[in-house]
Amino acid sequence: MQPKPQSAWAEVVSLCRDIEPSRLWELLPVPDIERDILAATDWLSSQIRALPDANGIYFGLDTLNMDQGRGTNVEIGGSQACNPSQDKIEWVYGKLTHGRSHLIRGLFELQQVYSQPKWEPVFSFADYILFLGYSGVVLGQAFHRLSTDRGLLSAWGFHDGDLFALPEVTGQI
């Protein structure tokens, strides 16, 4: 994991420039990463307490229910079927106990920019990479900052889509 979230985000945007060259990337605002990490850390801490038996934590990304910044864009689910000492995420496809969803504000703010008509040529790419990349930076940092003795492994990705393990395991395994 990149120890500096701002550098990690800059790498995501650089990747976008390399794969889909466009001057549009220069128009992206720099999200308030620290604000989003702190909010996600608080949310995650409360959700971990509400899922006391979970050792696998799933973050499901949802680009469609942000409701003009009043909705959510990340759901959480916990599983007892995860083995945190193994870097496997098959447990995500089993029974999950769901917690309270969350809004990563920066995702909403970014989407407000790249969903404008001039972004149409790269919208699908932006909606995938920026949403996945920024959420990975924020949730990875929140997971890293989580204070727990419980061994936890997390995975994140789009509903019914690509899923990835976050690179951090917390607590004792």
First CA to last CA across the chain, in angstroms?
Answer: 19
Residue 171 pLDDT grade (very low, low, confident, very high; cuts 50, 70, 90): low
Nearest to 106 by CA among 43, 32, 41: 32
Q: Is 144 exposed, middle or buried (0-12, 13-18, 19+ CB in 10 A)?
A: middle
* Contact of 104 with 31, CB cutoff 8 Å: no
**pLDDT over 50 at 173, yes or no:** no
Please state, rounded to an integer, the average pLDDT across all residues of the chain: 92
Q: What is the mean pLDDT of residues 95-119?
A: 97
**pLDDT over 60 at 172, yes or no:** no
**pLDDT over 90 at 86, yes or no:** no
Q: What is the mean pLDDT of residues 31-47?
A: 97
How does pLDDT run across 115-124, given as a tens digit for each residue?
Answer: 999 999 999 9
Query: How high is the pLDDT of residue 170?
Result: 64
**Position with higher pLDDT, 9 vs 170:** 9
155: β partners: 58, 165
Residue with tokens 């864009």: 73
Query: How high is the pLDDT of residue 169?
Result: 62
- pTM summary value: 0.93
